[in-house]
Structure 1
Amino acid sequence: MRIAIVDDLSTDSEALRKFLCRWASEQGIPLVPSPVILESGEALLAHFAPNAFDIIFLDIYMAGITGMEVARKIREQDTHCQLIFTTTTGEFAVDSYEVGAAYYLVKPFSYENLTQALSRCSAELLEQSQCVIIPGAAEQPPLLLHQITYTEYQSRNVEVHLLGGKTRLISMRQADFAALLLAYPYFCDCMRGVLVNLEQVESLTASHFLLSDGTSVPVSRLKYKEVREKYLSFAYARMRGGFTNGTL
């Protein structure tokens, strides 16, 4: 998740950064890169581009352009970025609705206040950042679950196929790796050594899944009934809008 903190008080920025790192660790959400800290609205706008950040924390009272003015300029370019105001007074709480702010935090705020603010951000945004940390591979980046199309076990390694045709090789037992992914209902064990992300499935035939990128993933004849039931259940729940936050 890409986060920017805009505040001209370094002590406040650092306190917020620590809260965010704690929250991200507890939620299993990577902050990639680390939160960007800027001391003015001008500094943010100088290099701002649509989709550059998922969430921006804006102090309202700053030297130069105010946080509210910054928010208005952001909304001229980006309507999806989540805005959370941080300030010492509730004076501008009503104005925050004008720019579609997700939350309004009055300083000093607690960690619990921050978690409430983050929960107001779209569930889809948080869900898309969901990941797993591979045991024994702390130096490697977390594995973003929704980037996975399917995985296959071969030569004592798991080859993870990702969106865009990229792959990642993970040295891990298939049983241990499968246990990590099958905790999420959108992953399906369709054949020995093969897992598929049902989000990427276009259709199911009698012998394979056809993915949205054209890839064919085999389905075990012995597992077919179970796999079909899981796929239909997933497809029905998603059609009804009942698939959020990793649960059916």
Structure 2
Amino acid sequence: MKIAIVDDIKGEAERLSGLVAHYLSTHGLFCDQTDLFASGEAFLEHFESTRYDIIFLDIYMSGMTGMETARRIREQDTNCSLLFVTTSPDFAIDSYDVNATYYLLKPVNEAQVTRALDRCNMDRIERDRYVMVPSQGKNVRLFLHNIAYTEYVSRRIMVYMKDGGTLEVNLSQKEFQQLLLPFDWFCDCMKGVLVNFEDVHKLQSDHFDMKCGATIAISRLKYSDVRERYLDYTFKTLREGQAL
């Protein structure tokens, strides 16, 4: 995920950047880039379509206003989330013209940032969700939506990725399950094995056919519960369009 903050007051831009970083860290979300710009002109010189997922824009800036900047952004990119930051709600109606996601009033606080980011396109944000896990003597980010399935083997977790890669995690199955099972797209289909429903191609009578090519057995004792959870997940995905 990439984020931009456009504000001509450096201290306010840095404070907002800190609040955004706090939100991301507490929600287990990864951002590989947060850029600060002192004007709309400076931002547009750097901007190109799809470069940023979320853009915070101060409306009252010297030179080009945030609203003018937003209109120029929308000429190239209709998908990024635009979040306006200002001292006055006077432009609230105009913000609908550029499909703004949220409107924050200064001084911005943590609660406002939380509400604003909660309103963003969550499919774009969700793809960067991760947990920290120990692997080969160091802690690494394990991006949850990259996982196909996991298996507990010889006192370690083998994580099999959708792209065919693998990661060895030095945790017990109980410790690992506590990290993944709070997310409803993961399921313990048999002892020592977790499946990501996103990678399931088809549910069979006693196993999952996975998109990655694997066949994952389902415990006979757990089958009814696993089937119900999988059907609930697929129904929710179709209803809400949450598949990534």
TM-score by length of 2: 0.86
**Following the alignment from structure 1 to structure 2, what is the Cα–Cα distance between the partners of residues 139 and 75?**
42
After TM superposition, give the deviation of residue 10 of structure 1 in Å: 0.8
> Which residue is equivalent to 1:195?
194
Matches within 5 A, 1:117-156: 117-134=116-133, 140-156=139-155
After TM superposition, give the deviation of residue 135 of structure 1 in Å: 6.5
Q: Deviations over 1:138-172 (max 9, x none)?
A: 96443222221111222332222223333322111
Q: Give 5+ residue unaligned stretches, structure 2.
A: none
**Following the alignment from structure 2 to structure 1, what is the Cα–Cα distance between the partners of residues 138 and 72?**
38
Aligned length: 243
**Following the alignment from structure 1 to structure 2, what is the Cα–Cα distance between the partners of residues 132 and 161?**
15
Q: How many percent identity over aligned positions?
A: 46
Q: Alignment partner of 1:104: what SS?
A: strand
> Which residue is equivalent to 2:29?
29
> Which residue is equivalent to 2:166?
167
1 or 2, which has the higher strand percentage?
A: 2
> Which residue is equivalent to 1:49?
48
Query: Is 1:73 matched up with 2:64?
Result: no
**Following the alignment from structure 1 to structure 2, what is the Cα–Cα distance between the partners of residues 144 and 38?**
29
Name the CA shift for 1:94/1:27 in 2 (closer, same or farther; >3 Å): same
Moved more, 63-72 or 136-145: 136-145
Moved more, 11-20 or 42-51: 42-51
Moved more, 127-136 or 203-212: 127-136
Q: Give 5+ residue unaligned stretches, structure 1.
A: none
Matches within 5 A, 1:175-194: 175-194=174-193
After TM superposition, give the deviation of residue 228 of structure 1 in Å: 2.2
Say if 2:156 and 2:169, in contact at 8 Å, map to a contact too. Answer: yes
After TM superposition, give the deviation of residue 126 of structure 1 in Å: 4.0
**Following the alignment from structure 1 to structure 2, what is the Cα–Cα distance between the partners of residues 23 and 158?**
29
Q: Deviations over 1:72-118 (max 9, x none)?
A: 12212221111011122223222111110111222222222222222
Q: Alignment partner of 2:163: what SS?
A: helix
After TM superposition, give the deviation of residue 14 of structure 1 in Å: 0.9
After TM superposition, give the deviation of residue 5 of structure 1 in Å: 0.8
Q: Which amino acid aligns with 1:2?
A: K
Name the CA shift for 1:141/1:113 in 2 (closer, same or farther; >3 Å): same
Q: Alignment partner of 1:71: what SS?
A: helix
> Which residue is equivalent to 1:19?
19
Name the CA shift for 1:50/1:163 in 2 (closer, same or farther; >3 Å): farther
TM-score by length of 1: 0.85
After TM superposition, give the deviation of residue 13 of structure 1 in Å: 0.7
**Following the alignment from structure 2 to structure 1, what is the Cα–Cα distance between the partners of residues 137 and 232?**
35
